[in-house]
Structure 1
């Protein structure tokens, strides 16, 4: 004998429906299988979090991987422009979260529907050519932003007038600085640089920058 899970009525072992309430009767194994099906897919994938786009490639979802990586690059470009010191931390957290959370969903949809691109996206973004161009453009943009340091450029420009002031007021020379080029980053906002004068002479200088005060100190060692 077995019992109806809905009303508790005793029913025959071979019965598929309860004679009292009409509920469908299922075996323990059937219920367990349904429960397993519901929990088969995880909510976070550690492997995807580690291998990111390569994990998507292994699962035959390269296009989705490129789109997600493009999103990571957009975030990194913005971070680099705001504060380059945060790039490594933001890159790690962003990649881990995006790929780790999205991959179980995408793997499930691929297994069920063989879906390689989200149908919710606009049609032009579902094109592999467009995705490839987008990914390449963002990758090159990120590399450009990463190696171009706008803060150094502004420090060089601001140092020109300071060098001119030093050589005119302290050295009593009637010369002007035309350009300053940073040659070495010493760390902690200290730099070695070359100051090109309008006479053609090049001076070795050191620059110390205080970002909180937005102040620049220039020292011209004895030449």
Structure 2
């Protein structure tokens, strides 16, 4: 019973909670709010700060992913325009490329541009299609994969439908700009015949 009486009278609650002091009930209510905020605010502030950081991180990732999708879009435009100087700006100087042509790897921007020049020399007009591009983005490193198909009209006028390949891109943010540091293009291999399978579609 004594405990109940204490609860009714306010007991051990601060004077502000009981509405005592200057200003009567109204002043006490204001103090209650101030006291409650003072007690609860550290946790609230931490939760709010964490939420703000999470939202900011999400916004940055969305921005970076949009930039990378534009980067791949610029790659497609460069291929279709056979624009070697434009393509050169999309790769890191030390890019390592695992292309469909021998040898096993091509190292450096000049080797990568030679690959594109060789491909462009076969075509009068070029088209490039990308499907199912998926990106994973961090602050300074990102990777993506997709299906791609190079097609067009050969120099002899014959239409070339091309083949679907599996493509992987690795990006790094260098001096504030995303650049391709590694790409890998491949087709499946028929293990029994040892021949590449080039007629598959995504």
Q: Normalised by the shorter chain, which TM-score bucket? A: 0.3 to 0.5
The TM-score, its normalising length taken from structure 1, stands at 0.33
Kindly indicate which of the two structures has a greater share of residues assigned to strand. 2
TM-score by length of 2: 0.36
Of structures 1 and 2, the one scoring higher in RCO (CA 8 A, sep 6+) is 2
